[in-house]
Chain A
Amino acid sequence: MSTSTDGTRHLLGVGDLDEKDVERILDTARALARSLDRDVKKLPTLRGRLVLNLFYESSTRTLSSFELAAKRLSADTMTLRASGSSVDKGESLRDTALTLAEYEPDVIVVRHPHIGAPQIVARTTRAHVVNAGDGKHQHPTQALLDLFTIQEALGRLEGVSVAIVGDVLHSRVARSLVEALLLVGADPILVAPPTLLPRGIEELGCRVGHRIEEIADVDVVYALRMQSERMEAGAAFVPSLREYTALYGITPGRVRPGQLVMHPGPMNRGVEIDPRVADSGASLVTTQVRSGLVVRMAILYDLLTSPAARAVPLALEVA
């Protein structure tokens, strides 16, 4: 967790986390997952707290996940979207943050099309800020929910090999996940055509490959969304989606028995992932959604509870 000069803790990127933070958050998530098995799923933990979702980009799963996570912990929630607000009238991010700060939110969850926006909100307000995706930069809660999903499925993280396949260039998910996997001792490899790999990405310490055969020996195949909405006309990152699918699509023939398949959603079925794979027993796609809920609950809990309570997440179970 990164900390402002006034002591406020934030989750702005995976770089804010150390191994202990990750372990603690995943442990808390595990305890919270058990609480969701009860008939009454609401916990009183964050009663009276305000969690504000500030979303400058469209989102279904991340926004609904944060909203439900806050509600399950009894926090008040409020959601502001870029359209239909003062943002439409040209208000700057800083002014919007200053305005919202007057409501004294405990947490502001920010999604923004530009890198560094959560940092601006963190500097401008006294709230804990959680980055829910900034440009092509970071999406740390996605990385944590992916770690949780892998750990639950395989019982470990260390040494797990994960092939991240597809449009790495435009993907904040890939950047965050590579960093997170390296942090916990897993072994990420990026597989993509050279035009969709940012030059110099291997300096993060991950392996890089250009051929789909590279996925044959990994434990987890992680397909990235082909971000066609980010591909301006004429940019020509790949000649066609058809050729991309032929070369890099995750098809039944390319997935070996025992391999697990993940995708951050929303999926382009038939482009980066074959529907038969997406709906197969190897697919963890829906599990990821459930992980997202408990991991985001864990993050809100971690940010808003005292260090002592944070260290004993199991206390939640007797609550």
Chain B
Amino acid sequence: MILASRNGRLDTLTIRARVIDPTEGLDAPASVKVEDGIVTAIEPAAGAPAGLVLAPAFVDPHVHLRTPGREDEETIVSGTEAAAAGGYCAIVAMPNTDPVVDTASVLRALVEQALEEAVVPTGFTAAISKGQRGEELTEMAELAAAGAVAFTDDGRPVASAGLMRRALAYSAVADRPLALHCEEPTLSRDGQMHEGAVSAELGLAGWPSVAESLMVERDLALAAYEQRPIHLQHLSARASVDAVRRARAEGLRVSAEATPHHLCATDELVRTLDPNAKMNPPLGSEDDRLALVEGILDGTIDCIATDHAPHARHEKDVPFEQAPFGVTGLETAFGALHTFLVRERQVPLPTVLERLSAGPARALGLPVPRIAVGAPANLVLLDLEAEWTVREDAFRSRSANSWLLGQILVGAVVRTIAAGKVVFST
């Protein structure tokens, strides 16, 4: 069992909309019939309501559920309710919890809890190194047998090239991909934001983009040497995107993420000194952002991941340098991408939908959500014309550290069907 969620009644319903499924080559007004959680008919239907789009529901390869340890910030219930509201039919949780998910017993407890509580199917990753200390490998085979989707020390890099090489080689035994947070710590040091003109002016310690791209280059070289697939998390720099493109052209099996905030915003946002503009990796320059958009367009970046990172309000309500890294994203991902990329004609809607769903599912070996007769219903209904304001009190997540607070977004999730069940409806 890789994805776990609570039991519930399978739903029967019919939705009429513009139906877009890039995997199935589908983009036409149609009526989609779901019976007992299975798609049973797709029929052309002229005159579908304007602005309504039905697409395969989203898959988030990178979510922090903060459970166990920081249930005040997020729980499996609140995190998966937030995912449902964001249009997701599957999410993958990171292991940098307290305790760290580095033993089968911790992982099994989480899977059991998800079977009771998760509103949308949830997968769990386990750490690459014990305690994420970067010293000794976890028992990957046992963790994989207990349900680990992938291995990652997300939140911090595997600093030692030697340990990284061993992890890559040994991951073949567990038969799971490694998901890598690329950051050379001696370069990022105490960096607070992207190093550039804005950091120079503000006097905030710079986090140079080469801290990421150098580690990307190292890990690509090690993966090529060991002939193992890797998944690169939250890319933020042009040089990283270029490196992935080259490696893939050379035949390496590499997948890569970009977040909505790195695709839509730049370090200019830090001028507000709002701690909700502080994330790791930091928001880059406009040139970096454009490189990420190019990566999304040509498929170098095959996943959009939120890196949903809830933080308690009192921990973010402090001067910028004292605030923790990270922002929430599950409930705003589509709205932000549609507002800033699709409406601004930077990325076509079907491409965004593919990178939000099939791309990440393939990258982590999860079932690809499809709109096809006989497939389980994993559907999201979107209203492209709906305008809404991002409000602190409207989140399902227990945390509200969004970089979009107060902004008006165009495009909203109307309904989410995950594994045959309606899990969200406005």
Contact = CB atoms under 8 A, between A and B. Distances in A.
Genuine A/B complex:
yes
Interface of A: 92-94, 112, 114-117, 119-120, 134-138, 171-172, 175, 198-201, 203-204
Contact of B320 (A114, A201, A203, A204): A114
Contact of B203 (A93, A117, A135): A135
A115 B321 contact: yes
A116 B320 CA distance: 7
14 contacts: A114-B321, A115-B202, A117-B319, A120-B319, A135-B203, A135-B319, A135-B321, A136-B205, A198-B195, A198-B200, A199-B196, A199-B206, A201-B197, A203-B200
Contact of B202 (A93, A117, A137): A137
Q: Quick one: which of B199, B208, B319 has the most chain A CB within 10 A?
A: B319
Nearest to B273: A116
B393 interface: no
B318 A92 contact: yes
B312 to A, nearest CB: 12
A200 B318 contact: no
B69 to A, nearest CB: 21
Given A92-B314, A115-B273, A116-B273, A198 B319 contact: no
Most buried by B among A115, A119, A135: A115
A134 B202 CA distance: 10
A302 B144 CA distance: 68
A200 to B, nearest CB: 4
A175 B203 contact: yes
B319 A200 contact: no
A199 B321 CA distance: 19
A171 B319 CA distance: 18
Contacts of A136: 203-205
Interface string B305-336: 00000000010011111100000000000000
Nearest to A200: B197
Contacts of B24: none
A204 B203 CA distance: 12
Given A114-B321, A200-B196, A200-B197, A119 B203 contact: no
Contacts of B206: 198-199
Nearest to A120: B319
What are the 8 closest A-B residue pairs judged by CB atoms, nearest first? A136-B203, A114-B319, A198-B200, A200-B197, A116-B273, A203-B197, A201-B200, A200-B200
B250 interface: no
A114 B203 contact: no
Contacts of A116: 273, 319-321
Nearest to B285: A200
Given A171-B203, A201-B201, 11 more contacts: A92-B317, A115-B273, A116-B273, A117-B319, A135-B203, A135-B204, A138-B203, A198-B195, A199-B200, A200-B199, A201-B197
B204 A115 contact: yes
A93 B323 CA distance: 12
Interface in B187-203: 195-203
Interface in B159-216: 195-206, 208
A264 B410 CA distance: 51
B211 to A, nearest CB: 13
Given A115-B273, A119-B273, A204 B200 contact: yes
Contacts of A201: 197, 200-201
A175 B204 CA distance: 11
A313 B205 CA distance: 40
Contacts of A199: 195-196, 199-200, 206, 208
A242 to B, nearest CB: 25
A63 to B, nearest CB: 20
Contacts of B314: 92
Contacts of B204: 115, 135-137
A76 to B, nearest CB: 28
B313 to A, nearest CB: 11
A136 B199 CA distance: 10
Nearest to B314: A92
Contacts of A117: 319
Contacts of A200: 195-201
A112 B196 CA distance: 24
Contacts of B199: 198-200
B204 to A, nearest CB: 6
Contacts of B205: 136
A138 B205 CA distance: 14
A312 B19 CA distance: 69
Contacts of A94: 317-318
A112 to B, nearest CB: 7
A176 B386 CA distance: 44
Contacts of B195: 198-200
Nearest to A203: B197
Residue among A94, A137, A172 with the most chain B CB within 10 A?
Answer: A137
A203 B196 CA distance: 9
A175 B321 CA distance: 18
Interface in B241-284: 273
A123 to B, nearest CB: 10
B339 to A, nearest CB: 26
A115 to B, nearest CB: 6
A201 B196 CA distance: 8
Contacts of B203: 115, 135-138, 171-172, 175, 198
Contacts of B208: 199
Contacts of B197: 200-201, 203-204
